[in-house]
């Protein structure tokens, strides 16, 4: 496993981060989840990402139990706050001081740790003053409950405002966690450029486009049994934007490129996002330990210019590049 600095900080994280969105506490039984975490540790992954909203707090509980007994100083544990948790009361969501302070305490209890290495705003809260949010995050850091702060799916303008306030408060906002893949490149023009200027790194989620870039979905063929596209708990909803015949047809053209590189299509997809200098780590989940073992083979891979050009040519017009999609896919008002 290779490691990269996260933003303009001294914190190093593994190039592959193990994430448990849509798996732990919902799709995957706890025993299998623990096996996946064990496989990640065995492969050299030291960075683990979760969120309080995943499986309505159960994912944090499962991860905390799976990591129990590991040397805490050897791990980087990340979690997030914003979306509704618990019974969904009026203050059980957003980035108010009340919700942040209560949420960090709940997350630490479930994760069985005294602190998280990175505490992230899971979305931008349009209904709470940013000054209130950043002051609360700064206090979480000063209380020793988080070492650094980050954001997820914020626009370039929102990231700039957050970094400026963080600097005034003498805390470090060092990361952004957006969706990024060969098919979804909306962060490149604005978010990546602004982040690089400000000393912020990307920890990217869905580098395999929810499994589409693995090549397992073939136009005109039945959906693989047990795949995300058949998951009615949320997976099918997330993947539907990529499940068009024109997209799936172009994705199949990536196979010879992967073969030439000695990679599976999924490994090629993960390696591709890691070619971006502003990407510190690719978030990868798993429902089986062998998926972890296969995915980590993308770490340290260098794709040459010909391979990168061939990927662009193969995907052509199905690549989404509109930077406006970041704001468009985020809530415009707080989710109650």
Instruction: Name the residues annotated as catalytic.
Output: 54
Q: Report how far Cα 133 is from the mean position of its chain's Cα atoms.
A: 21
| Three-state secondary structure call for residue 229 | helix
CA torsion angle for 32, 212, 6, 187 (degrees, to 10)? -150
SS3 letters across 36-85: HHHHHHHCCCCEEECCCCHHHHHHHHHHHHHHCCCCHHHCEEEEEECCCC
Phi/psi of residue 326, nearest 5 degrees: -60, -50
33 vs 39: CA distance, rounded Å:
10
Contact 238, 209 (CB under 8 A): no
First to last CA, the chain: 41
- 297 burial class (0-12, 13-18, 19+ CB within 10 angstroms)? middle
β-partners of residue 173 are 149
Question: Among 16, 18, 99, 97, which Cα is nearest to 53's?
Answer: 99
């Amino acid at each position: 496993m290779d490691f990269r600095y996260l933003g303009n900080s001294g914190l190093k994280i593994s190039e592959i981060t193990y994430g448990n969105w849509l798996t732990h506490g919902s799709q995957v039984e706890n025993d299998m989840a623990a096996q996946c975490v064990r496989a990640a540790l065995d492969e050299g992954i030291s960075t683990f990402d979760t969120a309080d909203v995943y499986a309505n707090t159960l994912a944090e509980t499962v991860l905390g139990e799976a990591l129990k007994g590991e040397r805490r100083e050897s791990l980087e544990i990340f979690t997030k706050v914003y979306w509704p948790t618990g019974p969904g009361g009026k203050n059980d969501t957003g980035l108010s001081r009340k919700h942040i302070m209560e949420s960090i305490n709940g997350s630490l209890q479930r994760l069985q740790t005294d602190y998280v290495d990175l505490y992230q705003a899971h979305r931008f809260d349009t209904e709470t003053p940013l000054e209130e949010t950043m002051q609360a995050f700064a206090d979480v850091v000063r209380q020793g409950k988080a070492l650094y702060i980050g954001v997820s799916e914020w626009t370039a303008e929102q990231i700039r405002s957050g970094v400026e306030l963080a600097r005034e408060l003498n805390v470090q906002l060092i990361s952004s966690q957006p969706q990024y893949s060969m098919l979804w490149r909306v962060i490149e023009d604005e978010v990546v450029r602004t982040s690089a200027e400000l000393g912020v790194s990307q920890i990217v989620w869905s580098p395999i486009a929810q499994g589409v870039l693995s090549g397992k979905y073939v136009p005109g063929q039945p959906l693989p049994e047990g795949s995300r596209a058949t998951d009615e708990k949320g997976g099918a909803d997330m993947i539907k934007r990529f499940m068009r015949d024109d997209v799936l047809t172009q994705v199949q053209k990536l196979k010879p490129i992967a073969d030439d590189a000695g990679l599976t299509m999924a490994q090629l997809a993960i390696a591709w996002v890691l070619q971006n200098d502003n990407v510190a780590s690719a978030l990868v989940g798993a429902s089986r330990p062998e998926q972890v073992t296969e995915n980590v083979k993308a770490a340290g891979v260098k794709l040459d210019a010909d391979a990168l050009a061939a990927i662009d040519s193969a995907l052509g017009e199905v690549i989404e590049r509109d930077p406006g999609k970041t704001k468009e896919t985020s809530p415009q008002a707080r989710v109650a």
